[in-house]
Structure 1
Amino acid sequence: MNNSTNHKINQVTEKTLVIGIDIAKRKHYACAVDDRGRVLHKSFPIRQSAEGFTTFYEQLLVLQNKHEKSEILVGFEPTGHYWMNLAAHLTAHDIRYVFVNPSHVKKSKELDDNLQTKNDVKDAMVIAKLIRDGRFSFPRILEGIEAELRNGASHRASLQKELGIITNRIIRWTDRFFPEFQHVFKDIGKTGLAVLEKTPLPEDLREKEVAELLPFYKEV
């Protein structure tokens, strides 16, 4: 066992309330365990809303007081973007959180009962016990210009993907209904889009002069 794993295991002491959370779109599930993996509170739901997060925080304080824990460590799989609002709420209340690898969750479920199907209630407990065992990673929180750059890069990549999908649809459509279009427009730019919007089919161009069409396209 390397020093990094030892360091992570040492994050969980007898005074730590460990919370494993299974992230979902509208409702998460959380399970509380102690440093020995004993379940202190079976899985309970957390609504994905400000009110739901406030209720969750209040539940954490109750559990912390009931079991005489001095600190809380929360962990979850960084699934999509659904964890981000919860993470922001935890940060606002100075509660530490860590990430659990989805592949580790899957393997742990296989070892427990060879059941790989999705089960929000059970997954929360599996995640909590992985945290107890030091099987987690610390998140790198980007702020300021770094956060803006990452968000900008992510948005740009998303737009490029959408553009590629739309471009491929246009190419398939013109291949079928307007094959001459691609001989004239190698790249689908502003003028090409104007042509497709105003005259999407070859018959729309029949018996029309260029001088007649140009003002028509400039309307786009």
Structure 2
Amino acid sequence: MDDIARFEMFCKLRAEIRGSDNHLIVGIDIAKDKHHAFFGTAKGQSLWRRLIFTNDLTGFNRLIEQANTLMTQHNLTSAVFGMEPTSNYHKPLV
């Protein structure tokens, strides 16, 4: 996929999410051993400010479990995960 196609996909996704009542936004700050996640809505409402999870399968399952719980509690149908990659520590999560 070329850069133009990737940019067009990004723009389409951003337009779909902006102001949506259906999306959970998960922002992840990557670190070597433990990551930090924030959960909110596309309209700026904070749902869960700080989840710290380990950089292994147990931690990843905890992240997904928390996302699923919040989606159920707030009647959200889609989740979008974004991360700030640091070094190569994000690769297991990807």
TM-score interval for Structure 1 and Structure 2 normalised by the shorter chain? 0.7 to 0.9
TM-score, scaled relative to structure 1: 0.36
2:65 maps to 1:58? yes
- CA deviations on 1:97-146 (whole Å, 9 max, x unpaired) are xxxxxxxxxxxxxxxxxxxxxxxxxxxxxxxxxxxxxxxxxxxxxxxxxx
1: distance between equivalents of 2:86 and 2:75? 31
2:13 maps to 1:37? no
- CA deviations on 1:139-197 (whole Å, 9 max, x unpaired) are xxxxxxxxxxxxxxxxxxxxxxxxxxxxxxxxxxxxxxxxxxxxxxxxxxxxxxxxxxx
Q: CA RMSD in A?
A: 1.8
User: What's the counterpart of residue 173 of structure 1?
Assistant: none
2:24 maps to 1:17? yes
Write 1 or 2 for the structure with the bigger share of helix. 1
2:35 maps to 1:28? yes
User: Which of 1 and 2 has higher RCO (CA within 8 Å, sep 6+)?
Assistant: 2
**Conserved 8 A contact 2:28-2:38:** yes
Q: Give the greater-gyration-radius structure (CA).
A: 1
Q: Per-residue deviation at 1:6?
A: 5.0
Query: Following superposition of structure 1 onto structure 2, how do residues 177-196 of structure 1 map, counting pairs within 5 Å?
Result: none
1: distance between equivalents of 2:48 and 2:34? 18
**Conserved 8 A contact 2:24-2:79:** yes
- 2:40 corresponds to which letter in structure 1? V
2:55 maps to 1:48? yes
The gaps in structure 1 that reach 5 residues or longer are 88-220
- Identity across matched positions, percent: 28
2:80 maps to 1:73? yes
**Conserved 8 A contact 2:29-2:37:** yes
Q: Per-residue deviation at 1:69?
A: 0.5
Change in Cα spacing, 1:27 to 1:6, as seen in structure 2 (3 Å) is same
2: distance between equivalents of 1:82 and 1:6? 27
Count of aligned positions: 85
TM-score, scaled relative to structure 2: 0.80
1: distance between equivalents of 2:72 and 2:43? 18
Q: Per-residue deviation at 1:38?
A: 1.3
Q: Per-residue deviation at 1:10?
A: 1.7
Write 1 or 2 for the structure with the bigger share of strand. 2
The gaps in structure 2 that reach 5 residues or longer are 1-6
Q: Secondary structure at the match of 2:27?
A: strand
2: distance between equivalents of 1:69 and 1:86? 23
2: distance between equivalents of 1:82 and 1:41? 23
1: distance between equivalents of 2:36 and 2:76? 21
Q: Per-residue deviation at 1:8?
A: 3.9
